[in-house]
Amino acid sequence: MAKSSVRDSLLAHRRHLSIDTCLLWSRQVQQQVIGSAVFQQAQTLALYSPINNEVFTEELFAAARSTAKRVCYPRVEGQSLEFIEVADRGQLAHGRFGILEPSGGTVVSIAEIDLLVLPGVAFDHAGHRLGYGKGFYDRALQRIGARSILVGLCFEFQRVAALPFEAHDVPMKLIFTEAGIFPTNNPGNRRANS
């Protein structure tokens, strides 16, 4: 199935979720992440600001800050993403695509980030990610450090057996849904702690 067909189908499904369902499932996903070894061991992590019924991340931010972790959010700069340290969610403002992003702050090299928490339209069993098709994360992930762990957050219906992918795509290590934590079966993945 073509990326565009998968994207359209799953976005339509997600768009029809009630806010109560999004809140409940997001809380369950975030609790899975907070209880995981990769979250507990990370010193610097990158979160995202959810749009279009993506998994919320506010509880992750609160848990990270309560344990003195550095938290970064992406900001669009031209055709790239840069990651900015955020101490308070009040530092976020609507950016170019209407997504909350840091309005100022210290740029953190993506290579310094231990745990990158990514949204997606879909994730497959090998850890490949399907986004909105603009390639911002794809370009940014080419610069990750050797210690960086990539995890995807989605609702269970967004986890699929296989997605089309490119040779340069960087797979996730773990996928978190309301149903559990799913290590990916991609042999190219580095550490797969859960």
Q: How many CA atoms lie within 13 A of 92 on its CB side?
A: 21
Is 133 assigned a ligand-binding role in the annotation?
Answer: yes
| CA–centroid distance for 123 within its chain | 11
Is 131 assigned a ligand-binding role in the annotation?
Answer: yes
| Biggest CA pair distance of the chain | 43
Is 54 assigned a ligand-binding role in the annotation?
Answer: yes
The Cα–Cα gap between 144 and 45 comes to 12
Is 4 assigned a ligand-binding role in the annotation?
Answer: yes
Is 129 assigned a ligand-binding role in the annotation?
Answer: yes
Identify the residue whose tokens are 């279009």: 52
Residue type, 106: T
Is 132 assigned a ligand-binding role in the annotation?
Answer: yes
Q: Which of 132, 126, 96, 100 is nearest to 14 (CA)?
A: 132
Is 147 assigned a ligand-binding role in the annotation?
Answer: no
Is 134 assigned a ligand-binding role in the annotation?
Answer: yes
Is 69 assigned a ligand-binding role in the annotation?
Answer: no
Q: How many CB atoms lie within 10 A of CB 145?
A: 11
The answer to whether the Cα torsion of 81, 87, 22, 184 is positive or negative is positive
Is 173 assigned a ligand-binding role in the annotation?
Answer: no
Is 90 assigned a ligand-binding role in the annotation?
Answer: no
Is 49 assigned a ligand-binding role in the annotation?
Answer: no
Is 101 assigned a ligand-binding role in the annotation?
Answer: no
Please enumerate, by residue number, every residue annotated as part of a binding site for ATP: 3-7, 129-137
Binding residues: 3-7, 54, 129-137
Which parts are annotated binding residues for substrate?
54
